[in-house]
Each structure stands twice: as C-alpha cells, then as structure tokens.
Amino acid sequence: MNETVQAWSRVVGWLEEHAPVNHRALNGPASEEEITAAEEQLGVRLPDQLRAYLKVNNGTVTQLDDSNGLTGSCPEGEFLSDCWALLPLSTIVRLHHQMMPGPNEDAAYWEREWIPFAAEPYECGEMYGYFVDAITGSVGRWGDYGERDARAHPSLRDFFDDEFRHIGRLVHEGGHYEVKPISERTPDDPPGRVLNGSIEWD
C-alpha cells in the first residue's frame, strides 16, 4: 500500500472507531476522470501522494452558501487540528484560483504549484490552510497576513502521521475521553475531546 494511503488509513480507522460522526463526513473516492478534470482547471498535475489520498477520500462533505453560491466545509468535516477540514477537489480548484495573485498583486504571494488541500472552516474565511507543493512534494502552510511556511511537513504522509498523533491524544488508555474543564487543563492534557461521536477541539 502507498505510504501516504497507509498514513491516511490510520486516521480513517481512528475516526471510524472513536468519532463516527466525523467519519461519516468523509467523501468517497475521487475518480481518475475527476482528478484529471481538476488538473486541467489548475494547470498543474497533482503530486502522486495527493492523487493517492484523493482516490481513497475526496476530502470531506460540503454545504452550500446560499448568499454567494459557493460551497464550503461543514462542522462534521472540520476534525483536523484547530477544527480545519480536508478539501474536496471542487474546493481545491476554487481556493487555488482565489489564491493565485492577480496582475497587480505580488507574484510571490502564491505559486501555481501550491495545491491547497486543507483549510480552516469556510465560515472563518479559509484564511489559513495547508498546501502540497506539486514540485517538491512538501506540505506548506499559509496564513491570513501573508505568512508562508513552504516546508511545514516533509510530505503529505508526514502531515497525516502528525494528525494521527494529535487525534490519538484525545483518547486515554482504556478508551476514556478527556473532559476536564479548560481552566483545569495542563499542557500535557489533550487539546480537545470526543463527545457524542464527534471531535471537539479547544
């Protein structure tokens, strides 16, 4: 099995066992035709690791914003650290187009080869997120104030491994959930909890 798919499968397995509400928010696989169509719109071939993951799950489900006709993440799909969501191909294409600098903007702001795949909730503006560099394969991070870290993770596999470690901290040995009030927590306590089958990050 592909290393990226292996890493992602561990996350999926954990969600299925401990957070079934979030697990149900995962989309099914993207087809080769859907991926190719997205690549044509992006003008870039997606890196193999991103293609492999998308062929397992095409991000998370979305909901329609009636005010502008756009689709964005829904709460059930916002289970990554900091309540971020994995993006389906349609949102990847939309957000990539939004991020590409216009004729009067700094060309260094965004590279065409940077493919967004995860972002903060749609309701928060998707101002922060992660992208995969289609050339190097590394995972970078962008922020609202122009900050960029092009090598936040060496690869998508490493990103998923880190996420697995984060969500794994939400469950104690024996399957007990951490539900301390925030005021009583220490830095060693998990940064959230699982309630009613859904992850809640602080």
Range of the domain at 153: 3-201
Amino acid at 145: Y
More confident of the two residues 79 and 188: 79
Segment 152-189, tens digit of pLDDT: 899 999 999 999 998 888 864 445 455 555 566 666 66
> How far is the C-alpha of 164 from the C-alpha of 18, rounded, in Å?
12
Q: What is the pLDDT of residue 140?
A: 94
For the entire predicted model, the pTM comes to: 0.88
Distance CA 201, CA 152 (A): 21
Enter the DSSP assignment of 39: H
Helix and strand element counts for the chain (H, E): 6, 9
pLDDT-derived band at 146 (thresholds 50, 70, 90) equals low
pLDDT tens per residue across span 120-139: 988 888 889 999 999 999 99
Of the chain, the end-to-end C-alpha distance in Å amounts to 34
Q: Is the sign of the CA dihedral 16, 20, 21, 24 positive or negative? A: positive
Distance between CA atoms of 91 and 70, rounded to whole angstroms? Answer: 9
Domain at 44, CATH number: 3.40.1580.10
The number of folded domains in the chain is 1
User: Average pLDDT for residues 85-110, to the nearest whole number?
Assistant: 85
What is the pLDDT at residue 1? Answer: 64
Res. 32: pLDDT tops 50: yes
